[in-house]
Structure 1
Amino acid sequence: MSLTANSIPAAEQSEARFGRPIFDDPSARALRRVGVLDVGSNSVRLVVFDGAARSPAYFYNEKIMCGLGRGLSETGRLNPEGRARALKAIARFQLLAQSMGTGPLTTAATAAVREAEDGLEFRDEVARETGVKIWIIDGEEEARLSAQGVLLGWPGSYGLVCDIGGSSMELAEIAGGRVGKRVTSPLGPLKLSDVKGGKKGRKAHIKNVLEGLANRLGPQEDRLFLVGGSWRAIARIDMERRGYALHVLHEYRMTARSVRATAEYIAQSDLDELRGRCGVSSARMALVPLAIEVLKEVVKTFRPRDIAISSYGIREGMLYEQMPQKLRDRDPLIEACRFAEVKDARLPGFGKTLYQFLYPLFKGASADRKRLIKAACLLHDVSWRAHPDYRAETCFDLATRANLGGISHQERVFLGLALLHRYRNSRQGTRFEEMYDLLPEKAQNEAEVVGKALRFAAMLWLEKDHEIGEIRYFPKKKHLELFLTKEALPLFGEVAEARLNSLASALGAQAQVRIKKTPKP
């Protein structure tokens, strides 16, 4: 198999994978340094996005707990103290955004402001005092934007998005990259605290509301995506209860059984002590006992096949709203890795050459596995500035904890192990060993092969798009052949030979090196 682009099937060379970086497109450049302001019932948050537009990094992220919706059910008005805090927060965020060069903030206000008697008055006061123009959205629009935020992280997903705020809870269907039916409800914890009849009264109220929502939405047996601070706090507690090793909330999975177990765990725990262990704020922790009552009933009502936590929601949905379709269609993981390579690698573009060179080793792999191998090729050199003694751990840390969309926890560990083996032969003796068990042993060994392939191929460093040679792999015969061009042959020194043998050993194969013949003119 030749080591040129023609050796890889057309689908493997697609523009969406290794074509011109989309972040160089004018439509994507327009989405750099975008500021989004979310004026919620419980908090006001500023997020400034930057980096690869399809998989943006959080350039700045600050939240202030204001409690605008506290007491709204009784008074019909925004909480006076919360209103004053929110105005100060927005004034601060506006100045920060100006200093960061975001342009006008995209600002949305949700349940509390839209329902309060003085909501419009507050909107006008904010505009007068700060210059920020607030877009007051209704419940269905809030559901749509939250669902679009989920699509930013999970392109093409199917399921039900459940976004809980302080005063409301929204549900939205997603299927094939589009948002379907949407509903809103008064099941936010701040409103539930005003329901009469104690826990028994709340349970009857929650059940009655959800039955109505289920009748409108119909069966929902795919994945349940949980969006919102209260759900994330519950996920943190679930992680702590389980002793889960990877403390990344996005893509964390739960089951109906774990929701019930965590509800019992919360009920039996001292909340102050629990919030300290889990890193949850006191204001958020006060809402958790009410939120878990809602979650138990949501799971019981809709019976999803599994449950996933989404760190992406309405703010990411407002960014997604501004994306052209060709940008939405891109793979968020590959786009983020391309951006990282261009920004941090010593030879940007060499990742594509590496993938083409190593493709024969993995031609039988699944499309999902090839996608991770591509990501590893793009990231193989972005941590070169780290001290040599810590590069392996730095790479693992980057892959498992970085802000990446479109990647599960198991895939994070696979990518992390591949990059770790890019810099060291053994994965034992690191501070990350407890995370390895999130991945089956077979997959751990496959990641080792990828890493050792990168470790070897990185020794044959020529210009990007330059032909190194070719690899032929015969898995049934356990035979690995390396054909080097005359130009690349001097690069094959003792260290490169040792790394080739290490790769062959990981494959359980024997390696042979040959000089590639130059075709006669």
Structure 2
Amino acid sequence: MAGPDRAMNSMLSRVRAMAETMATSPEPATARSAIIDIGSNSVRLVVYDGPRRIPFILFNEKVMAGLGASLAKTGAIEPEAMERGLRAIGRFAHLCRDMRVTDIRCVATAAVRDATNGAEFITRAKAMGLTVELLSGAQEAIGAAMGVLSGIPDADGIVGDLGGGSLELARVRKGAVEQTISLPLGVLRLPQIRAKGPRALDRCVAKMLEKAGWQAEPDLPFYLVGGSWRSLARFDMQLTHFPLPVVHQYEMSAARAEQLTRIISHVDKGRLKQIPAMTGSRVPTLPDAAALLSVVVRQLKSSRMIVSAYGLREGLLYENLPDDIRAHDPLLVAAEAEGEAQARFRGHGDRIDRWIAPLFPDDDKDARRIRRAACLLADVSWRANPDFRAERGVEIALHSNWVGITAAERAMLGQALHTHFGGDVGTLPNLDRMASPDALHRAALWGLAVRLAQRLSGGVEGPLAISHLERHGDRIDLHLRDEDADLYGEAVERRLRNLAQAMGLKYQLLGGQG
């Protein structure tokens, strides 16, 4: 082999070796964790990477094993279902080894817990090198509730996690789980209950709640967890033509549950299968899931329903975090990670926020949080075609996998990024269906202010550290030291003028800052 070829091959070998150690986040590959969730309907593997508070999903796969399909009739896992489930977890274990996942937690819930041959499943899994942790009903309820708190930190109400074999309820308040119960009301058990008559499910739920000693607290929100209820929410999003295709923190009135029960009983299954993100295996469970939801929210006297995309798996991760990391804001952690990964120059999103803050003294706590997220994402579109940077900003705001953010707040974030990346300050189509005109106008002003900061600074932190903005009455003052006055070019003045005009203010440059 010729000398240059050997040198090239040696270099490529070093590059490949280096690539194998690289993760998809700033943390090393050894930070990857995985959950294998053995449920009554499905067996799923999720591999996580990135920030511990809000890790990114690196890989996600499920197998509809149906371990709980025969429990109501035979009390056991059918042989075919058991083999399907064991094959799935065998594949998942192999993938985890290849992905260099060092922290694997394999948990089983109601089907394995209740089946007469559940111990056999656990023993055979152990022979494959996997230790299956059998969760009690209380542990399952706490895990689901922790998942909701991870994605909706200020959740205050009742969490309901509907699985194939059971329904878990948990009272959450101020970041803690206060009360839990587990009821044998999974979607695989409901047909047998409902077959006993029109009011059989109502009587069954009432009896179970009374026996468990569960006291209803009227007018609390009900947080929906579980694939069947999320699918039901997606159906409602289609019916209402909701403009945001994100189910997390989607809200419905409590009365909507009963309406959906009637509607879905008359809808062709073919139409249901056409709904985005609706798996065919979920379609048969929707009528029973809707019926149970209607009964539960009525008996709990719930005020409204809020969907959580986070549940047991995320809750298991969240439970194990130190308190100081739990306290981190999930939206801001994710926005910072996304911003840092895509930025031209790193580490100045917080500086931008502090720099523009004097212009917006009336922003409340919630608004300041979304404004900061916009600043952290201030450089995410620079690689995009210049003609589509504004659209790219909106796409990131609306469709990225954020949690801890409502639809209205996503709209504000989208408006801010759209304006920052050169889009019109006018309200974008459909955003006004999610947020008020005043909120969107305020977000557009944030975007113009960030646009000014980025132009003045060239995208780096230094110029922002030696300058500052002030608002005095009807005027914006930009302060620069005399020796730095050359930073105030035509483009900077134009952006300052655009911001001032949009705010209905005058502007001026002030020097002499020491």
TM-score (norm 1): 0.89
Most deviating of 132-141 and 208-217: 208-217
Match of 1:453 among 439, 449, 454: 449
The answer as to 2:348 corresponding to 1:350 is yes
Task: Within 5 Å, give how 1:301-380 maps onto structure 2.
Answer: 301-380=299-378
* Counterpart amino acid of residue 40 in structure 2: S
Is the Cα contact below 8 Å between 1:126 and 1:132 reproduced in 2?
Answer: yes
Cα distance, 1:494 vs structure 2: 1.8
CA distance in 2, matches of 1:220, 1:79: 41
Cα distance, 1:205 vs structure 2: 4.4
Is the Cα contact below 8 Å between 1:42 and 1:166 reproduced in 2?
Answer: yes
Q: 1:214/1:499 Cα in 2 relative to 1: closer, same or farther (>3 Å)?
A: farther
Match of 1:235 among 219, 233, 236: 233
Match of 2:495 among 482, 496, 499: 499
The equivalent of 2:143 in structure 1 is: 145
The equivalent of 1:511 in structure 2 is: 507
Cα distance, 1:485 vs structure 2: 2.6
The equivalent of 2:133 in structure 1 is: 135
Cα distance, 1:46 vs structure 2: 0.8
Cα distance, 1:197 vs structure 2: 3.3
The equivalent of 1:89 in structure 2 is: 88
CA distance in 2, matches of 1:142, 1:460: 52
Residues 267-308 of structure 1: CA deviation (Å, up to 9, x unaligned):
221122222134412211110100000000111011222211
CA distance in 2, matches of 1:155, 1:208: 30
The equivalent of 1:411 in structure 2 is: 409
Task: Within 5 Å, give how 1:422-433 maps onto structure 2.
Answer: 422-426=420-424, 433=429
Name the structure, 1 or 2, with higher relative contact order (CA <8 Å, separation 6+).
1
Cα distance, 1:257 vs structure 2: 2.6
CA distance in 1, matches of 2:361, 2:202: 56
Most deviating of 111-120 and 419-428: 419-428
Is the Cα contact below 8 Å between 1:350 and 1:465 reproduced in 2?
Answer: no
Count of aligned pairs between the two proteins:
488
* Aligned-partner SS, 2:265: helix
Residues 472-500 of structure 1: CA deviation (Å, up to 9, x unaligned):
113xx422121223354323222221111
Is the Cα contact below 8 Å between 2:234 and 2:275 reproduced in 1?
Answer: no
Match of 1:486 among 469, 477, 482: 482
Cα distance, 1:196 vs structure 2: 6.3
The equivalent of 1:6 in structure 2 is: none
CA distance in 2, matches of 1:297, 1:278: 27
CA distance in 1, matches of 2:378, 2:237: 30
Task: Within 5 Å, give how 1:70-85 maps onto structure 2.
Answer: 70-85=69-84
Is the Cα contact below 8 Å between 1:417 and 1:444 reproduced in 2?
Answer: yes
Is the Cα contact below 8 Å between 2:157 and 2:173 reproduced in 1?
Answer: yes
Is the Cα contact below 8 Å between 2:338 and 2:377 reproduced in 1?
Answer: yes
CA distance in 1, matches of 2:474, 2:30: 49
CA distance in 1, matches of 2:144, 2:195: 32
Unaligned stretches of 5+ residues in structure 2: 1-24
Cα distance, 1:160 vs structure 2: 0.8
Q: 1:52/1:276 Cα in 2 relative to 1: closer, same or farther (>3 Å)?
A: same
Most deviating of 441-450 and 192-201: 192-201
The answer as to 2:474 corresponding to 1:473 is no
The answer as to 2:434 corresponding to 1:438 is yes
Cα distance, 1:328 vs structure 2: 0.4
CA distance in 2, matches of 1:29, 1:303: 47
Match of 1:282 among 280, 284, 287: 280
The answer as to 2:474 corresponding to 1:464 is no
CA distance in 1, matches of 2:145, 2:365: 26
* Aligned-partner SS, 1:481: strand
Residues 328-363 of structure 1: CA deviation (Å, up to 9, x unaligned):
011111111222233221121221221121110112
Cα distance, 1:464 vs structure 2: 2.4
Task: Within 5 Å, give how 1:250-261 maps onto structure 2.
Answer: 250-261=248-259
Most deviating of 254-263 and 300-309: 254-263
The equivalent of 1:8 in structure 2 is: none
Residues 116-144 of structure 1: CA deviation (Å, up to 9, x unaligned):
0110110111121x311110111111000
Residues 366-423 of structure 1: CA deviation (Å, up to 9, x unaligned):
0111111111111100221111111111111111111112111111111111011111
Most deviating of 57-66 and 138-147: 57-66
Unaligned stretches of 5+ residues in structure 1: 1-22
Most deviating of 279-288 and 136-145: 279-288
TM-score (norm 2): 0.90
Q: 1:92/1:486 Cα in 2 relative to 1: closer, same or farther (>3 Å)?
A: farther
* Aligned-partner SS, 2:482: coil
Most deviating of 333-342 and 371-380: 333-342
Residues 176-227 of structure 1: CA deviation (Å, up to 9, x unaligned):
1111110010111101122363552643444434542684244253221110
Is the Cα contact below 8 Å between 1:164 and 1:231 reproduced in 2?
Answer: yes
Match of 2:164 among 153, 162, 166: 166
CA distance in 2, matches of 1:196, 1:333: 41
* Counterpart amino acid of residue 508 in structure 1: G
RMSD: 2.1
Identical aligned residues as a percent: 35
Is the Cα contact below 8 Å between 2:34 and 2:101 reproduced in 1?
Answer: yes
Cα distance, 1:89 vs structure 2: 1.0
Q: 1:32/1:436 Cα in 2 relative to 1: closer, same or farther (>3 Å)?
A: farther
Task: Within 5 Å, give how 1:260-299 maps onto structure 2.
Answer: 260-299=258-297
